[in-house]
């Protein structure tokens, strides 16, 4: 949420304001601590709400130990002590605090101690609990740097937040306490009967219980279920609002005779597969209805989704409307623009490109031509949905790799073309529940069949100890005139490390193979990346070292082989996507999965699966069977938005309830204040624009 939007929202609503206040508004939180907390919660200018949404990852129960002895040395113990006196360290000797316990003396030892802190935490005479590992030194029991745990110990609980070393647990707890004290309870957005039936606490109470360790943060605890239900309701409300806004305006009926389509098919160098034609027929039927299409085309990497998209776009164009294709990255957008341009040239049709990296002049010309309707077809990145882009008559929006198309973008889309038809393309077999959660009702066309004439692709799993042989194999392939990729490990989120690894490998391969080696990674200027990609497509660069920027959808049919370093670090779906880049032509492709031994059993199973199976849908099923429904294939790696509180494997029934509740609420007319508040709390205030527009 932008600062302005949050303040505007909060300004009119005194109940919401404390939830959306910046962190340094909290008692005891100054700008420096606020900056560290921002890093902990991973939000740029966090609000009080963001701090409270940062839930503990664990609650440990620590039973205080009444007695201890030599047999406990080395164990972590919680012991009640009475502080006797401080012996400040002299020179290099540590600070020592003598205490007594139920079974005798225990020294708390601090090296390089900070005097004021220790004197404050352990005043002589104080009884308190300390948590630490028991050490025996010169016949005495000691603890080194024990942690005082007064409050938690009293309740026998230790709350553990993921703090990544930015702040201590004590400070974080105090900040959270200040936040809880600052925020008011909010009027309910759920029907009271539902809350009573599910026995759920209030929203604020749920957060308090989890942060105080009254309940573990597990999916089945009532507090966590409450937050999950709220999160799902917020999402389902947005979906319902988008759906209503989209159906308020009738969609254009796009039912042209199909002249352009026939022209395209006549000059294609191949015939569409039956699966592609079936998908086209389904899309055609949707477009001929006066209600906005909402369809997902799911097809494995290389199944030919781009052609399906283009055929749909031509139907829109022939019917006198504009159609756009949105890609998740700049590289892909340019590639799509090039491919479509080539296919359309014989038809005398033009495709525009609208991305984030155009000169101001080019961009302005494109915008003008889109606004006047001169440009019928356009490819782009999310730049297509910036506020200053207007369309003359937008009829169809195609979104490639649909999982990156968030709820917020859909709201933006409705603003551009209220009744526009929507077609989503995806290579990831996303489970049904997940789709329901993020899309509501969605029609699906599956491309089960690959274009014919694809030579089989081989996948081999090779330990890094055989790197020398792999390089020799690459040398032979290059000598035969082949092209291929060398993918460097994805060490998310440390992108710098990833780039460094790619650069080091690039340098080594250059030394061996010279000028035919190219490098692309996310840290390069886009122009440089595009230049290298083009050189690769033209066959000037023949070995392309890359980080995962090539992951999605890049199509260089001449690429014959792929080496993936540290394949064990990648997810199954990602590896399958990656290797989909090779063996797209009519000659066999090879994928070498390099791993660093020893392999952990799950990674071993993953790599074995990939070696044995080349069908994305079957891989998904196998993966599901292996891992159980807890970790569904690729959902995490697919870029599918993550839920914060809800876990769809545990909260399916909450999803159903939320969906029903949202539909009823939106059908009943304007949203009431409490539900608007819920949307703002979860950062969906963009969707409120849909309300006002309607
Ligand atoms: P994806 O589904 O992964 O997006 P693409 O649309 O990029 O796949 O298609 C992969 C390759 O297959 C492209 O080079 C495309 O031109 C080609 N292709 C698409 N349809 C067919 C077909 N019916 N017969 C032969 N080749 C096809
Ligand atoms: Mg594609």
Percent of the chain surpassing pLDDT 70? 89
Which among 276, 307, 335, 424 is the best mutation to test ligand 1's pocket, defined by most ligand atoms within 8 Å of the CB? Answer: 307
Residue 422 backbone dihedrals phi, psi, to 5 degrees: -125, 125
What pLDDT shows up at residue 58?
A: 85
Question: 450 CA to middle of ligand 1, Å?
Answer: 8
Tens-place pLDDT, residues 444-459? 999 988 888 777 789 9
What pLDDT shows up at residue 447?
A: 92
Question: 311 CA to middle of ligand 1, Å?
Answer: 13
Give the whole-angstrom CA distance, residue 292 versus residue 395: 9
Which atom of ligand 1 is least distant from the CA of 453? 25
Query: Which of 445, 427, 309 is closest to 378 using CA atoms?
Result: 309
- Tell me the mean pLDDT in the region 663-687: 91
Residue 23 backbone dihedrals phi, psi, to 5 degrees: -60, -35
In-domain check, residue 639: no
Give the whole-angstrom CA distance, residue 403 versus residue 424: 9
pLDDT bracket for residue 552 (50, 70, 90): very low
Is residue 250 classed as helix, strand or coil in its secondary structure?
A: coil
In-domain check, residue 603: yes
Q: Specify whether 135 is located in the same domain as 115.
A: yes
Give the whole-angstrom CA distance, residue 15 versus residue 588: 64
Could you tell me the CATH number of the domain that includes residue 136?
Answer: 2.40.50.140
Tens-place pLDDT, residues 587-610? 788 999 999 888 888 788 889 988
Q: Specify whether 311 is located in the same domain as 339.
A: yes
Tens-place pLDDT, residues 475-516? 999 999 999 999 987 544 445 666 667 888 899 999 999 999
Q: Specify whether 609 is located in the same domain as 475.
A: yes
* Residue with the larger pLDDT of the pair 493 and 40: 40
Which among 306, 425, 577, 580 is the best mutation to test ligand 1's pocket, defined by most ligand atoms within 8 Å of the CB? Answer: 306
Question: 553 CA to middle of ligand 2, Å?
Answer: 4
What pLDDT shows up at residue 548?
A: 73
Count Cα neighbours of 683 within 13 Å in the Cβ-side half-sphere: 16
Ligand 1 binding pocket includes 451 (Cβ within 6 Å)? yes
The residue with tokens 């159903």 is 656
Q: Specify whether 671 is located in the same domain as 688.
A: yes
Q: Specify whether 679 is located in the same domain as 559.
A: no
Ligand 1 binding pocket includes 238 (Cβ within 6 Å)? no
pLDDT at residue 23 tops 70? yes
Ligand with the closest atom to the CA of 299: 1
Is residue 360 classed as helix, strand or coil in its secondary structure?
A: helix
User: In Å, how far are 80, 195, 583 from 67, measured between CA atoms?
Assistant: 10, 45, 68
Could you tell me the CATH number of the domain that includes residue 513?
Answer: 3.40.50.300
Ligand 1 binding pocket includes 306 (Cβ within 6 Å)? yes
Question: 519 CA to middle of ligand 2, Å?
Answer: 22
Q: Which two tokens stand for residue 125?
A: 């005479």
Give the whole-angstrom CA distance, residue 100 versus residue 107: 8
Tell me: cis bond preceding 493? Omega within 30 of 0 counts.
yes
* Residue with the larger pLDDT of the pair 30 and 437: 30
In-domain check, residue 54: yes
Question: 308 CA to middle of ligand 1, Å?
Answer: 9
Which atom of ligand 1 is least distant from the CA of 580? 3
Burial class (CB in 10 A: 0-12, 13-18, 19+), 138: exposed
Tens-place pLDDT, residues 416-433? 887 899 999 988 777 777
pLDDT at residue 581 tops 90? no
Q: Specify whether 241 is located in the same domain as 318.
A: no
Q: Specify whether 262 is located in the same domain as 400.
A: yes
Is residue 100 classed as helix, strand or coil in its secondary structure?
A: strand
Ligand 1 binding pocket includes 449 (Cβ within 6 Å)? no
Percent of the chain surpassing pLDDT 90? 52
What is the domain range of residue 196? 186-248+651-694
Ligand 1 binding pocket includes 553 (Cβ within 6 Å)? yes
Tens-place pLDDT, residues 133-182? 899 988 899 998 887 776 555 566 788 898 877 788 889 999 999 999 99
DSSP per residue, 456-500: PEEEEEEEGGGHHHHHHHHHHHHHTT-EEEEEPP--TT-HHHHHH
In-domain check, residue 642: no
Q: Specify whether 417 is located in the same domain as 272.
A: yes
Are 444 and 275 in contact by the 8 Å Cβ rule? The answer is no
What pLDDT shows up at residue 693?
A: 45
What pLDDT shows up at residue 634?
A: 41
Question: 442 CA to middle of ligand 2, Å?
Answer: 20
Question: 614 CA to middle of ligand 2, Å?
Answer: 17
Tens-place pLDDT, residues 63-113? 777 889 999 998 888 888 999 999 987 777 889 999 999 889 999 998 877
- Tell me the mean pLDDT in the region 313-331: 93
Tens-place pLDDT, residues 122-137? 899 998 888 888 999 8
Query: Which of 453, 439, 267, 241 is closest to 346 using CA atoms?
Result: 267
Is residue 340 classed as helix, strand or coil in its secondary structure?
A: helix
Give the whole-angstrom CA distance, residue 262 versus residue 270: 13
Q: Specify whether 420 is located in the same domain as 536.
A: no
Lowest mean pLDDT among 100-114, 223-237, 395-409: 395-409
Sheet with 394-400, strands from edge to edge, namely 351-354, 377-380, 322-326, 394-400, 421-426, 294-299, 443-447
What pLDDT shows up at residue 155?
A: 62
Bridge partner residues of 460 (DSSP): 592
The total number of structural domains that make up the chain: 5
What pLDDT shows up at residue 75?
A: 86
What pLDDT shows up at residue 134?
A: 92
Ligand 1 binding pocket includes 305 (Cβ within 6 Å)? yes
Ligand 1 binding pocket includes 585 (Cβ within 6 Å)? no
Query: Which of 53, 132, 144 is closest to 95 using CA atoms?
Result: 144
Are 544 and 451 in contact by the 8 Å Cβ rule? The answer is no
Tens-place pLDDT, residues 213-228? 999 999 999 999 999 9
In-domain check, residue 13: yes
pTM value is 0.69
In-domain check, residue 508: yes
Tell me: cis bond preceding 598? Omega within 30 of 0 counts.
yes
Ligand 1 binding pocket includes 557 (Cβ within 6 Å)? yes
């Amino acid at each position: 949420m932008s600062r302005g939007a949050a303040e505007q929202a909060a300004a009119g609503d005194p109940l919401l304001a404390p939830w959306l206040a910046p962190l340094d508004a909290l008692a005891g939180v100054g700008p420096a601590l606020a900056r560290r907390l921002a890093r902990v919660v991973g939000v740029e200018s966090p609000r009080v709400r963001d701090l409270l949404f940062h839930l503990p990852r664990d609650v440990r129960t620590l039973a205080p130990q009444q007695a201890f002895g030599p047999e406990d040395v080395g164990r972590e113990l919680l012991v009640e002590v009475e502080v006797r006196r401080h012996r400040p360290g002299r020179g290099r000797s540590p600070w020592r605090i003598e205490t007594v316990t139920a079974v005798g003396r225990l020294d708390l030892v601090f090296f390089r101690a900070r005097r004021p802190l220790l004197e404050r935490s352990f005043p002589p005479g104080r009884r308190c609990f300390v948590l630490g590992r028991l050490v025996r030194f010169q016949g005495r029991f000691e603890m080194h740097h024990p942690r005082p745990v007064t409050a938690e110990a009293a309740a026998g609980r230790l709350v553990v937040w993921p703090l990544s070393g930015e702040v201590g647990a004590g400070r974080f707890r105090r900040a959270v306490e200040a936040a809880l004290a600052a925020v008011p309870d909010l009027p309910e957005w759920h029907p009271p009967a539902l809350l009573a039936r599910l026995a759920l606490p209030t929203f604020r109470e749920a957060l308090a219980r989890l942060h105080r360790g009254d309940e573990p943060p597990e999916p089945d605890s009532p507090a966590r279920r409450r937050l999950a239900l709220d999160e799902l309701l917020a999402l389902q409300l947005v979906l319902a609002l988008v759906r209503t806004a989209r159906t308020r305006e009738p969609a254009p009926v796009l039912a042209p005779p199909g002249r352009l389509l026939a022209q395209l098919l006549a000059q294609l160098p191949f015939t569409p597969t039956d699966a592609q034609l079936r998908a086209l027929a389904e899309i055609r039927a949707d477009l001929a209805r006066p209600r906005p299409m909402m369809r997902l085309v799911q097809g494995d990497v290389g199944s030919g989704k781009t052609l399906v998209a283009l055929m749909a776009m031509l139907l829109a164009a022939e019917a006198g409307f504009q159609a756009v294709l949105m890609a998740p990255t700049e590289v892909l957008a340019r590639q799509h623009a090039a491919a479509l341009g080539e296919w359309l040239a014989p038809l005398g049709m033009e495709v525009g490109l609208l991305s984030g990296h155009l000169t101001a002049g080019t961009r302005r010309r494109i915008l003008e031509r889109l606004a006047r309707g001169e440009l019928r077809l356009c490819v782009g990145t999310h730049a297509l949905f910036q506020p200053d882009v207007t369309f003359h008559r937008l009829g169809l929006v195609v979104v490639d790799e649909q999982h990156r198309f968030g709820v917020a973008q859909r709201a933006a889309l409705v603003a551009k073309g209220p009744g526009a038809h929507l077609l989503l393309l995806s290579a990831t077999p996303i489970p049904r529940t997940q789709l329901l959660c993020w899309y509501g009702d969605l029609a699906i066309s599956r491309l089960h069949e690959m274009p014919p004439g694809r030579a089989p692709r081989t996948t081999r799993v090779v330990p890094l100890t055989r790197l020398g042989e792999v390089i020799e194999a690459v040398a032979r392939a290059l000598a035969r005139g082949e092209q291929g990729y060398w993918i460097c490990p994805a060490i998310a989120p440390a992108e710098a490390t990833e780039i460094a690894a790619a650069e080091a490998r690039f340098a080594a391969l250059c030394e061996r193979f010279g000028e035919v080696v190219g490098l692309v990674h996310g840290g390069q200027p886009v122009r440089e990346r595009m230049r290298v990609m083009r050189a690769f497509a033209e066959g000037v660069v023949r070995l392309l070292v890359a980080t995962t920027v090539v992951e999605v959808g890049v199509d260089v049919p001449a690429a014959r082989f792929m080496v993936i370093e540290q394949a064990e670090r990648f997810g199954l779906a990602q590896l399958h996507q990656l290797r989909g880049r090779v063996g797209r032509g009519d000659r066999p492709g090879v994928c070498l999965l390099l791993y660093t031994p020893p392999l952990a059993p799950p990674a071993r199973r993953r790599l074995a699966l990939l070696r044995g199976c080349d069908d994305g849908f079957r891989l998904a099923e196998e993966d599901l069977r292996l891992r159980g429904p807890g970790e569904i294939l690729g959902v995490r790696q697919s870029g599918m938005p993550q839920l914060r509180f809800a876990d769809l494997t545990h909260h399916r029934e909450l999803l159903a309830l939320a969906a029903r509740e949202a539909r009823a609420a939106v059908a009943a007319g304007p949203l009431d204040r409490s539900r608007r508040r819920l949307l703002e709390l979860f950062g969906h205030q963009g969707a409120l624009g849909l309300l006002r527009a309607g």
